[in-house]
Amino acid sequence: MMPTPLKSLPPLENGDKLTRAEFERRYNAMPRLKKAELIEEIVYMASPLRAKSHGKPHAQILGWLITYEAATPGVEVLDNATVRLDTHNEPQPDALLRIETGGQSTISEDDYVEGSPELIVEIAASSASIDLNQKHNIYRRNQVREYLVWRTYDGAFDWFCWQNGQYLPLNVDTDGIIRSTAFPGLWLAKERLLAGDLAQVLASLQQGLATPEHQTFVKQLSR
């Protein structure tokens, strides 16, 4: 089936209120559009992204997650993939980590994520952004198990864990490490990340990957 010509559909605009089906129809008719999201049936379109406040931290998070994926067969990292979260929401998070088989999400026949990935990461400007408000609420409601927000302007990193219908902060342990509850061995040296010390971030992750908990998790995924 040929895609609907752009001239026959109104273009997506920030603030449009659309059903998910109509959002996808208009989005697919705009192949040059890089990023648009549907949050509570409202369209949000990305502004140009700055190098140091978004591009660099985004790359660092991907490097951290991809290192974990490489050591953990059965999990998958995706970058800027659209997620059909529910009938009112279709976000495009900066990064996600999902269990490929037997997890909370699947890949549809037309190659979209459907359902709730186990972990989502957003790079946000500040605590006033959509990532710590509307998206926080929809990820919690859909039981995304862990939600990470790097607030680059604030110099802060929030890691939330879903428990009994709410998001609770996952705190730094006494050794300066945050340890994932959804993905054993996924360790983050928070202050080293904020300081730009990627080498130490990856060294701490390697310590997590060497734990018996991670080895057990890998065996469970292979069953």
pLDDT, one tens digit per residue, over 55-95 is 999 999 999 999 999 999 999 999 999 999 999 999 999 99
Task: Decide which of 29 and 128 is more confident.
Answer: 29
- Position 88 scores a pLDDT of 96
Q: What's the total number of domains in the chain?
A: 2
Domain of 89, in residue numbers: 51-221
Q: Within this chain, do residues 109 and 171 fall inside the same structural domain, yes or no? A: yes
Give residue for tokens 């890089």: 34
pLDDT above 50 for 2: no
Tell me if 134 is assigned to some domain: yes
Tell me if 4 is assigned to some domain: no
93 neighbors 134 (Cβ within 8 angstroms): no
148 neighbors 178 (Cβ within 8 angstroms): no
- Position 127 scores a pLDDT of 67
Q: Within this chain, do residues 99 and 121 fall inside the same structural domain, yes or no? A: yes
Which of 94, 86, 177, 178 is closest to 140 using CA atoms? 86
Q: Report DSSP letters for 44-106, one per residue.
A: EEPPPPPIIIIIHHHHHHHHHHHHHHHTSTTEEEEES--EE-BTTBB---SEEEEESSSSSEE
Exposed/middle/buried for residue 95 (C-beta within 10 Å: 0-12, 13-18, 19+): buried
Tell me if 152 is assigned to some domain: yes
Its pTM stands at 0.92
